[in-house]
Structure 1
Amino acid sequence: MKKHLVALVAVVAVLVGSLPVMAAEKTLNLYIWSEYMPDEVLADFTKETGIKVKISTYDSNETLYAKIKMLGGKGYDLIVPSAEYVSRMAGEGLLATIDKNRLPNLANLDENFRNLPYDPDGAHSVPYMWGTTGIAVNTAMVPAGQVTGYADLWNPALAGKLLLPDDMRTTFGMALKVLGYSTNDTDPAHIEQAFLRAKSLYPAVKVFDSDSPKQALLNGEVAVAVLWNGEAYVTNAENDAIVYVYPKEGANRWVDNLCIPKNAANVENAHAFINYLLDPKVAARISQEMGYATPNKAAMALLPAEVRDNQIIYPPADKLKGSEFETDLGQAQRLYDQYWTKLKTGR
């Protein structure tokens, strides 16, 4: 009996002794786009809060959605879907409700990014960054002015010099705009026309890349790329011959958002990180490094003029003529998915 008692005391001592270590091992599982969060921001957050961020990445909203749906909203504590996927995932019960009482820095958000159509009252999301999708052109390889819109990508002279993202909405949105339709068109006939239009361009594409399209531009592998403006900003900073073109048909505009999956394990840590990202100094730092626009009004005054006035990051109104935000496709999503599969499999 005495031996058992000694053993029990020893076990209890070990468990008690391990409690501070266990408490210190606070984690946050972040699932985010590739190259979309500065390492220094993660390191500083951990230093300030003791919460260690474990990061996983994806290259498309489709990949994110499929993973979260398969896991039933488990496995990750914070995700970063684009606007149309916020409404889709919220509608399917995959997102938790944001507790605004835990986000005092939410007051820094610009009024223009509150109560957005895809998530009224911000019930399931907090805007992280916003931007545009356009065209980067290496003017050392293609004469300046030759590419002014999406329609110019079908020019036979660009065959083998073109990069497209491996992204359904960007690809079909581009084709729809060329045809004179909305990037959110749900007419089956128009969607089929967009599929055929995109299919006719695919043989001319040398590279498909949603992870880091800037690399193919910088190494001269391609001369023209459809990409997000942050990638164009970094590319232009390294090679000013590579310019960003807002398509004459109208650029795609987007908002990426911080969301907590329905069955996240570390909800308190997720709110702590969202609140940290809403700090003006942190938001300004991210915008400056990533090359995307911040929805944080208080952060704007902290940005250096060369960032705040950079038209690749913060476009003037005339550059946004004809632009659209992508919205949820509703029942038409299934048809888009079917045509996307056909496009990628060459059928």
Structure 2
Amino acid sequence: MNRILFKIAVPAVFILLSLCIASIAAAKQEVYFYNWSEYLPEEVIRQFTKETGIKVIYTTYDSNEAMYAKIRLLDGKGYDLVVPSGYFVNKMGREGLLREIDKSRLNNFKNLDAQHTDRPFDPGNRYSIPYLWGSTGIIVNSAEIDPETVRSWADLWKPEFKGKVLLLNDVRDVFFMSLRVLGLSGNTTNPDEIQQAYDKLVQLMPNVRLFNSDTPRVPYITGEVSIGQIWNGEAFMAAEENEKFVYIYPTEGAILWMDNLVIPKRAENVDNAHALIDFLLRPDIARAICEEIGYASPNREAVKLLDKDIRNNRTIYPTKEDLAGADFQVDIGEAIVIYESWWEKLKTGR
């Protein structure tokens, strides 16, 4: 090669290498977020990308079990941010599916209310950051059913509700309800008690029209069902569309849960995942999420910013009286296999 060509070729090679490196860097400005259905306003995603340049590849699931199965299958790879409920944080952390959170990267961690951090399922928030919390209760279409006649989970078994009931497509929520009707712990690992709950649910099945955990408010709004289980945020959104929908905290106790942001152990965009977590912890962002989808924020500073009507809405922020008898779900270990066995029998035996 003559000197002139060499002088031209060498800079050209460096330019091409620089362009390739820049292209690779740009390609990594993304984060794969796997979340519950209808659990994050699209505007929040757009704002994050606008402010950071990081593209959010967003997909959803409708149950902890579906999420867990996928993360387990991929051995903690394929997603950078996931939102399991508390008892699944414990399970996934114990099984080595999660990466430790670097809280030094989270300037907004301080905004969280201390009562929602350092929970038993994840002491010290080693693996998880609180995202939203809420309850599972009963929703009633007051145009068809007098809400004053429905106070407990047991009321769903009334014969007049034949073919009118919706149950969440969630094994723990459904069995928790049945166990509480029987006066048992919703977190039991006793095989005999789990079978008793199954037998009780079999008696309920003539009333059950469908199972739904994707957008459970929709069958109520369309009139397909009139009463049944629902998450409080879905109840809030249903009432926003039509005030005839009433949310009820059952006398046996509502089911409580907290959903949390976690990073799978083989996530490829860890820095971007931390950036998104910190963004979601901003008071203005946490407020926007709460006000649009109707689930309670664990963010102390965000709660201060909430519209008074939201802050005083008992569907979102229940009173102490509402939570009498309420309990959080916990990890039940290997007993989940027993639950799932009866669950499949319940659904296929209809």
Question: How does the TM-score come out when normalised to structure 2?
Answer: 0.95
The residue aligned with 1:120 is: 123
CA distance in 2: counterparts of 1:116 and 1:270, whole angstroms: 22
User: In the alignment, is the contact (CA less than 8 A) between 1:134 and 1:251 conserved in 2?
Assistant: yes
- Residue 21 (structure 2) aligned to one of 19, 22, 25: 19
CA distance in 2: counterparts of 1:24 and 1:310, whole angstroms: 44
Within 5 Å, give how 1:82-101 maps onto structure 2.
Answer: 82-101=85-104
> Is it true that 1:140 corresponds to 2:137 in the alignment?
no
User: What's the offset of the Cα at 1:341?
Assistant: 2.1
SS in 2 for 1:257: strand
> Is it true that 1:279 corresponds to 2:310 in the alignment?
no
> Is it true that 1:151 corresponds to 2:141 in the alignment?
no
Q: Which moved more, 1:18-27 or 1:282-291?
A: 18-27
* Post-superposition CA distance 1:312-333 (Å, at most 9, x none): 0000000000000000002312
SS in 1 for 2:206: helix
CA distance in 2: counterparts of 1:345 and 1:160, whole angstroms: 17
User: What's the offset of the Cα at 1:8?
Assistant: 7.5
> Is it true that 1:306 corresponds to 2:309 in the alignment?
yes
Q: How many residue pairs get matched?
A: 347
CA distance in 2: counterparts of 1:10 and 1:49, whole angstroms: 31
User: What's the offset of the Cα at 1:147?
Assistant: 1.6
% identical aligned pairs: 49
CA distance in 1: counterparts of 2:17 and 2:203, whole angstroms: 65
The residue aligned with 1:163 is: 166
User: In the alignment, is the contact (CA less than 8 A) between 1:213 and 1:225 conserved in 2?
Assistant: no
Question: RMSD of the alignment, in Å?
Answer: 1.7
User: In the alignment, is the contact (CA less than 8 A) between 1:30 and 1:54 conserved in 2?
Assistant: yes
CA distance in 2: counterparts of 1:277 and 1:144, whole angstroms: 36
- Structure 1 segments of 4+ aligned residues over 4 angstroms from their partners: 1-12
What letter is aligned with 1:161? K
User: What's the offset of the Cα at 1:10?
Assistant: 5.0
The residue aligned with 1:252 is: 255
CA distance in 1: counterparts of 2:96 and 2:116, whole angstroms: 23
Q: Which moved more, 1:245-254 or 1:17-26?
A: 17-26
Structure 1 gaps, min length 5: none
Within 5 Å, give how 1:155-194 maps onto structure 2.
Answer: 155-194=158-197
SS in 1 for 2:97: coil
- Residue 70 (structure 1) aligned to one of 69, 73, 82: 73
The residue aligned with 2:35 is: 32
SS in 2 for 1:30: strand
Within 5 Å, give how 1:104-119 maps onto structure 2.
Answer: 104-119=107-122
Q: Which moved more, 1:17-26 or 1:199-208?
A: 17-26
CA distance in 2: counterparts of 1:227 and 1:45, whole angstroms: 30
What letter is aligned with 1:299? A
User: In the alignment, is the contact (CA less than 8 A) between 1:24 and 1:50 conserved in 2?
Assistant: no
User: What's the offset of the Cα at 1:256?
Assistant: 0.2
The residue aligned with 1:292 is: 295
* Post-superposition CA distance 1:184-225 (Å, at most 9, x none): 011111100011111222232112110111111111111112
User: In the alignment, is the contact (CA less than 8 A) between 2:156 and 2:228 conserved in 1?
Assistant: no
The residue aligned with 2:53 is: 50
The residue aligned with 1:80 is: 83
CA distance in 1: counterparts of 2:79 and 2:201, whole angstroms: 34
CA distance in 1: counterparts of 2:110 and 2:40, whole angstroms: 22
CA distance in 2: counterparts of 1:207 and 1:186, whole angstroms: 27
> Is it true that 1:319 corresponds to 2:322 in the alignment?
yes
User: In the alignment, is the contact (CA less than 8 A) between 2:145 and 2:226 conserved in 1?
Assistant: yes
User: In the alignment, is the contact (CA less than 8 A) between 1:233 and 1:291 conserved in 2?
Assistant: yes
Question: How does the TM-score come out when normalised to structure 1?
Answer: 0.96
